[in-house]
Structure 1
Amino acid sequence: MFENAPILKSTKDYTATRNACKLCAPLGASIAFKGIRGCVPIIHGGQGCATYIRRYLISHYKEPVDIASSNFTEEATVFGGGANCYTALNNVIGQYNPEVVAMCTTCLSETIGDDVNLYMHNYKEDNKHENLPHIVTASTPSYQGSHMDGFHEAVASAVKTFAKAGAKGKHVNLFPGFVSTEDLRQLKYILSDFGLDYVMLPDYSDTLDNPIWESYKRIPEGGTPISEIETCGSAAASIEFGTIINQGSLSGRVRSKSLSSTAASYLENEFGVENHQMPMPIGVKLSDTFFNALEKISGKEMPTRYKRERGRLIDSYADGHKYIFGKKAVVYGEEDFVIAMTTFLDEIGIKVVLAATGGESGKLESEIRKYCPERGEKILAKNHFDYENIHEWCQENKPDLFVGNSKAYYIARELNVPIIRCGFPIHDRIGGQRIKHVGYSGTQELFDKVVNALIEYKQDHSPVGYKYM
């Protein structure tokens, strides 16, 4: 009776993600939208999505973070979330009086096919006599990518929604990507020292890292005003950190049309704003690329303070070289962060043996080889890795240190090796949101941390101990 039964084809073994080295797309979008002045993000989906995002951001930034939800129920899942969407808008506008409302989709709302842009159009038509806030939407289902996809989709959506054509100005657009609040402040100092007017998007340096309040503020001060985003189309140039920006194909999945361009490339194509795209400026080589671009755009020579910062950094490389040369490091996190950090470690003589990310662009290996031309082929660069993949690899290969966020702490603890906490998220230390990474001064702080961590490890494991190097 089974003679004509079809022969089953063998399939490739597949291991499910067990502890993802990435986060959800609406989380990244929420961070970016918190960098727009007066903005309240709304997560169009289940209540749990917004709760998870609030909890995660509060743990890292140590600040109150309001993220609204359209609060899907079973009924909305079956019949559509339009009514929930309108209720969420009414509640947020009535309670917060925001300048901007940002609607981010989730896996659930995207899967059932909710047309959020149509909902926004209908809402504006129904309330055209009201003084509505600005509204922007972002398509951010997590099955389409990581938190970095969501972050960059939010930035691109804001630019595509609000940027206008105009007479060419002298200001510059800076799209810094996902860096720390202290990095954002440092970048603003640098641009000001070059005498450049700028539009930084996003700018959550105050909204997610506030001074002490006398009374609670529903919407924190700070962020990039819509009026400034409108001028992005008339800027003299754009600087965009990141060479991947998670725009690659996702293992054969179809990308949404809205993700076809970054904010800076959109401005270049639509308004002729020259795009200076580069890796995150971590290390001497990559910071030089950034400062050279500023010199070209501004027509001014690098200010003396930064020449001295650069000189002190190179001097410290020489001072610390004997303590770190040849040590083996594992780097993990977002793709563009991993590329820049790997380039920096390679520059100071540390051997990056594994560069791992949950991102799915497929471009990590080629980008690392580009920026680490001497050792790039010896670095194992892995897209779509999770922390258990990292764990298993490290058990076999025994690195000397970890460089990345706090989520790999349990692996470093088991192997009894140092972990240099940087990037996002850092949930087990105070000040994770203020760690500097970029520029010569940010690199200096990172270099000192790396060297001292290795010295401390050697000192603690010495049979006799020592008080002098």
Structure 2
Amino acid sequence: MADKIPVLKERKNFVATRNACKVCSPLGGSIAYKGIKGCVPVIHGGQGCATYIRRYLISHYKEPVDIASSNFSEESTIFGGEGNLSAAIQNVIAQYKPEVVGVCTTCLSETIGDDIGQALRNYKAANADDKSIPEFVYSSTPSYQGSHMDGFHETVAAITKTFATKVEANEKVAIFPGFISTEDLRMLKDILTDFGIDYIMVPDYSETLDNPVWDTYHRIPDGGTPVEDLKLLGGAKASIEFGPILNKGNLVGRLKNKNLAVTGAEYLSKEFGVKKYTVNVPVGITQSDELFKALSEISGNEVPMRYQMERGRLIDAYADGHKYVFGKKAVVYGEEDLVVAMTGFLDEIGVEVILAASGGNSGTLQPEIEKCAPTHGKTIQVMGDLDYEKINELCIDMKPDFLVGNSKGYYIARELEIPIIRVGFPIHDRMGGSRLKHIAYKGAQELFDKIGNAMMEYKQEHSEIGYKYI
């Protein structure tokens, strides 16, 4: 009998990513490391990775951002990069004298299988008598298994697991704010202080990535969460993390083990019994109310009058501007947790979100949006693992009234001749992108005013009359 001819399996058409709605994983990890006092990030891989990350962050934060590199060569790619990593660490210690060195892996170092933990142990053993040796922490951040948000949250979890120790119970509250703006972090710290909460923020890059003017250059900017505080996390009375999705993508396949803690707050809960509160990124009234409710419960204090007044003014603004925004159609894109929060806020003010898009691939974007957007949640087209070109194609057919997202989508808004409300990361085409307010009642007030004013301006510019009163 003639051999049977094997039948090829049917394969679905594959469309290559043309303009990813995300950036690389070690970039997110570097931002998290910048939120630790005295920390210098080291990218374990090619020089181009670190150069790209530095350029990208400088453009958004408008600040000098130093990111070191182990500078792989062809030889290190074949025989391993431990020697390069040791040399990079030695150079960083000599030039920066850091308190912490944070290592992010790259596609290249992960592909060849470098054992970073062992390499760092070897380095410390070889330099055991050197009093200048800093603390070390490393995170696994290959871009082929995640976005910048996966890298950010993986690094936050790594920082927590590295430094949190079993200590006596204390009154500290661990705050995991996620990837929000420097101004959001400062507002959040003010809120915590007004509640009388003694907090440990992981990470806190509000000063390190948004510096005052200097008389002389600081190799390592002031600010960040001290390691001494991180070591107290195991005795915290509670933790609060922003975002229901967080690190639930496919990074390193850790979710195959359901018992594995994938966020910093989960680790504190499982290892030390720290009570965990999870809230959406607090954008708008409903989601901010959840944060303030948690803070009241933890602190035992009522919401300070300052924030009650801000909430009241926001409700009044909603009533004043309702006629300008109600029924408008919007497309929201960006990091998954930010998309969830923004969709909930837009649903709250009467805007119909017709597309909620992200480059993330957690698989949980749809159910989380349905929870936070009770009016339109079940009718919103929700899509993950998207690129901007696909979003552009969808927008042409959907005809939204405005876009909500980062500056990478500006060309879509320009082609459609509609406004874009810039939020999140990156903002490369405006000043103050890193200082945009998003969270709490004050952040929602600014967002609502921006959206209302954008709708009014659009009406003025497209009117033959040119209304002076609208």
Give the whole-Å Cα distance in 2 for the aligned partners of 1:442 and 1:171.
26
Determine helix, strand or coil for the equivalent of 1:19: coil
Q: TM-score, normalised by structure 1?
A: 0.97
Give the whole-Å Cα distance in 2 for the aligned partners of 1:219 and 1:402.
37
Conservation of the 8 A alpha-carbon contact between 2:357 and 2:386: yes
Q: Which residue of 2 aligns with 1:215?
A: 216
Which residue type is aligned with residue 107 of structure 2? C
Q: Which residue of 2 aligns with 1:431?
A: 432
Give the whole-Å Cα distance in 2 for the aligned partners of 1:7 and 1:381.
36
Structure 1, residues 189-212: CA drift from partner, whole Å, max 9, x if none?
000000111101111011000000
Determine helix, strand or coil for the equivalent of 1:199: strand
Q: Which residue of 2 aligns with 1:244?
A: 245
Which residue type is aligned with residue 184 of structure 1? L
Percent identity of paired positions between Structure 1 and Structure 2: 63
Determine helix, strand or coil for the equivalent of 1:275: strand
Determine helix, strand or coil for the equivalent of 1:150: helix
Q: Which residue of 2 aligns with 1:129?
A: 129
Q: Which residue of 1 aligns with 2:64?
A: 64
1:263-282 matched pairs, under 5 angstroms? 263-282=264-283
Q: Which residue of 2 aligns with 1:114?
A: 114
Structure 1, residues 50-95: CA drift from partner, whole Å, max 9, x if none?
0000000000000000000000011000000011011001000111
1:307-456 matched pairs, under 5 angstroms? 307-456=308-457
Determine helix, strand or coil for the equivalent of 1:182: helix
Give the whole-Å Cα distance in 2 for the aligned partners of 1:62 and 1:105.
25
Structure 1 residue 8 displacement after superposition: 2.4
The change in CA–CA distance for 1:259 and 1:95 in structure 2 (over 3 A counts) is: farther
Give the whole-Å Cα distance in 1 for the aligned partners of 2:10 and 2:267.
44
Q: Which residue of 2 aligns with 1:167?
A: 168
Structure 1 residue 254 displacement after superposition: 6.3
Give the whole-Å Cα distance in 1 for the aligned partners of 2:275 and 2:6.
58
Q: Which residue of 1 aligns with 2:48?
A: 48
Give the whole-Å Cα distance in 1 for the aligned partners of 2:336 and 2:462.
33
Conservation of the 8 A alpha-carbon contact between 1:283 and 1:344: yes
Which residue type is aligned with residue 402 of structure 1? L
1:84-163 matched pairs, under 5 angstroms? 84-131=84-131, 132-163=133-164
Give the whole-Å Cα distance in 2 for the aligned partners of 1:462 and 1:368.
35
Corresponding position: 1:73 with 2:97: no
Conservation of the 8 A alpha-carbon contact between 2:29 and 2:151: yes
Structure 1 residue 359 displacement after superposition: 0.3
Give the whole-Å Cα distance in 1 for the aligned partners of 2:118 and 2:260.
19
Conservation of the 8 A alpha-carbon contact between 1:283 and 1:347: yes
Structure 1 residue 143 displacement after superposition: 1.1
Structure 1, residues 288-338: CA drift from partner, whole Å, max 9, x if none?
000000000000000001000000000000000000110000000000000
The change in CA–CA distance for 1:255 and 1:88 in structure 2 (over 3 A counts) is: farther
State the number of aligned residues: 467
Structure 1 residue 420 displacement after superposition: 0.3
Structure 1, residues 105-145: CA drift from partner, whole Å, max 9, x if none?
00000000000100001111111111210000010001111
Which residue type is aligned with residue 37 of structure 1? K
Runs of 5+ unmatched residues, structure 2: none
Give the whole-Å Cα distance in 2 for the aligned partners of 1:41 and 1:9.
45
Conservation of the 8 A alpha-carbon contact between 1:37 and 1:222: yes
Determine helix, strand or coil for the equivalent of 1:276: strand
The change in CA–CA distance for 1:17 and 1:253 in structure 2 (over 3 A counts) is: farther
Q: Which residue of 2 aligns with 1:300?
A: 301
Runs of 5+ unmatched residues, structure 1: none
Structure 1 vs Structure 2 CA RMSD: 1.5
Give the whole-Å Cα distance in 1 for the aligned partners of 2:375 and 2:241.
26
Which residue type is aligned with residue 185 of structure 1? R
Corresponding position: 1:33 with 2:33: yes
Structure 1 residue 246 displacement after superposition: 3.1
Q: Which residue of 2 aligns with 1:460?
A: 461
Which residue type is aligned with residue 57 of structure 1? L
Give the whole-Å Cα distance in 1 for the aligned partners of 2:185 and 2:22.
22
Give the whole-Å Cα distance in 2 for the aligned partners of 1:366 and 1:264.
22
Determine helix, strand or coil for the equivalent of 1:101: strand
Conservation of the 8 A alpha-carbon contact between 2:81 and 2:109: yes
Determine helix, strand or coil for the equivalent of 2:231: helix
Structure 1 residue 468 displacement after superposition: 1.1
Which residue type is aligned with residue 203 of structure 1? D
Determine helix, strand or coil for the equivalent of 2:283: coil
The change in CA–CA distance for 1:259 and 1:87 in structure 2 (over 3 A counts) is: farther
Which residue type is aligned with residue 47 of structure 2? Q
Structure 1 residue 248 displacement after superposition: 3.9
Q: Which residue of 2 aligns with 1:203?
A: 204
Structure 1, residues 428-467: CA drift from partner, whole Å, max 9, x if none?
0000000000000011011100110111001110111011
